[in-house]
Amino acid sequence: MSKRKDSAYRSGRSPDWLKMKNADAPAVKREAEEEWKEGGDDHAKPGRRSTRGIWLEATMRLMLIVVTVAVAMLLDLRVSQATQMPWCAGTNTGRSFHYNCSLPTYEMCVQEVIAGNRGFCSPNPYYRGPEFVPPRTKRKRYYY
């Protein structure tokens, strides 16, 4: 730090002090190289992000959202398929007819129809049943 020649002496901090760096110091050279690699954003204030950094972060967030939506669409997760059970209760409410195909047993279907007073029970035509995965056969070991 050095003080300007034409200013009066004051004790403590002075607005007339100049901040000087030793250009030959390794830290100054390293800092200059890092600024050059980052693009040398001179107008960015310390503690604030550059416009380029903000745009880069926004682009990355948008890409994350797009990829997440694409994966969800590829997996094709439907709530209606998760609630398909073997029995459907068809009930008439006067103006409309409703199907409730989330009943696992015939007895529950009958209770649903009796509670509504009008309707019938039928097997669900869209029910596929539990997916059967055949057990793996044991490999025959050969000893040499």
Nearest-angstrom CA–CA distance, 4 and 20: 12
The position carrying tokens 């380029």 is 52
Buried b (16+ CB within 10 A) or exposed e, 57-67: eeeeeeeeeee
- Can you count the helices (H) and strands (E) in the chain? 4, 5
Domain limits, the chain: 49-77, 83-123
Q: List the pLDDT tens digit at each of the 144 positions of the chain.
A: 455 566 676 676 666 666 666 778 787 777 777 766 665 455 555 556 678 888 889 999 999 999 999 888 887 655 555 567 899 999 887 888 888 888 899 999 998 888 866 789 999 988 887 777 778 888 788 887
Q: 3-state class of 56 per DSSP?
A: helix
Question: Residue 16 has what pLDDT?
Answer: 65
pTM tops 0.75 = no
Q: Where are the alpha helices (DSSP H) in the chain?
A: 26-38, 51-75, 79-82, 106-116
Question: Is residue 88 a contact partner of residue 124, using CB atoms and an 8 Å limit?
Answer: yes
For residue 17, the cross-strand partners are 3
